[in-house]
Amino acid sequence: MLITLKNILKMAESKDMAIAAFNVTSLEGVLAVIEAAEDEDTPVILQFANAAHSKYISLEDIGRVMVAFADRSKVPVCVHLDHGNNFDEIKRALDLGFTSIMYDGSELSLKQNIANTKYAKILADEYGASIEAELGSMGTEGENENILGAYTDPEVARVFVNETGIDALAASFGTVHGIYKSRPNLDFDIISGIRKLCGIPVVMHGGSGISDSDFKKCIDCGVRKINYYTYAAKYAGDAIKDMIKDKNGNIYSHDILVEIRRNMVKTYKETIRVFKNTQK
């Protein structure tokens, strides 16, 4: 069942949990997310980061698959464009049936980020879709240096949210995208401050590599959407390496795809359970 980001986050809010947002780059990834969500009877977000993953598959090809499987799912599924950084890309996703988009103007000035995000919201509103935006900088894969200067200021976030009318805010409070070089130092006060001043769900990017206890602290402070991809892809890759070691003789591509899906389902189910935040 297709659902918007705004509505799926209302479900998260009512249960003091976070919705898992899994990036996908293949049919196997889509199937794994849907299977895990249905097995756990939990809403989920299917998302595609075109800026990062278009080298693997086009937005048009994977987008149609995402929307089709989300529509027939037994649980609510939001189909979301992750890190959209131009209006053409956002329009293409909305035309495909995405129920939510993210506009990422985090590298722009505050004034330009606000202006662009407001226009992105107009586009989303035309399709009845939701919008997430970003303020602050999460950094990129392999980085875990001190980026305090790029952390989201809750007071600035209040201005940003009031001006743009977004449904969720991706904030910087100590996470990075990709593999962590050392244990992340999370600033939970930023999350609490944003929730207090802005009153909208906070989104965690760079969710792979965070401890279960830190996930739960973030959720308790007001995080309602957590992006998770890198470690799921890494664990599936590790499983293929083990599979090759264990096999005597030929390795077939279809066996590899089945193993990838099986391993991802396992990872996604474990992740969904953590994000449910039921063990206080």
- Could you give the CA distance from residue 33 to residue 24 in angstroms, rounded to a whole number? 8
> What does the pLDDT read at residue 67?
98
The model carries a pTM of: 0.92
Query: DSSP secondary structure string, 180-223?
Result: -SS-----HHHHHHHHHHH-S-EEES--TT--HHHHHHHHHHTE
Measured distance CA(172)–CA(97) in Å, rounded: 29
Q: Domain range holding 269?
A: 5-276
Of 71, 82, 189, 246, catalytic: 82
Binding residue per annotation — 84? no
Amino acid at position 234, single letter? K
Regions of the chain short of the pLDDT cut 70? 138-149, 176-184, 208, 249, 279-280
38 appears as a binding residue in the annotation: no
What CATH code is carried by the domain that includes residue 176?
A: 3.20.20.70
Local structure of residue 15 (DSSP, 8 states):
T
Asked if residue 53 belongs to a known ligand binding site, the reply is: no
How many CB atoms neighbour CB 112 within 10 A?
11
- Nearest Cα residue to 19 out of 6, 32, 31: 6
30/62 Cα distance (integer angstroms): 9
What is the C-alpha separation between 28 and 260, in angstroms, rounded? 7
Check the annotation: does 228 bind a ligand. Answer: yes
Q: For residue 175, what pLDDT is reported?
A: 78
Which uninterrupted H or E stretch holds 9?
helix 5-14
Q: Residue 210 has what pLDDT?
A: 85
What is the total count of domains within the chain? 1
Q: Angle at the Cα of 138 (from 267 to 94), degrees rounded to 5?
A: 75
Q: Is 95 a catalytic residue?
A: no
177 annotated as ligand-binding: yes
Helix axes 253-276, 230-246, angle to 10 degrees: 140
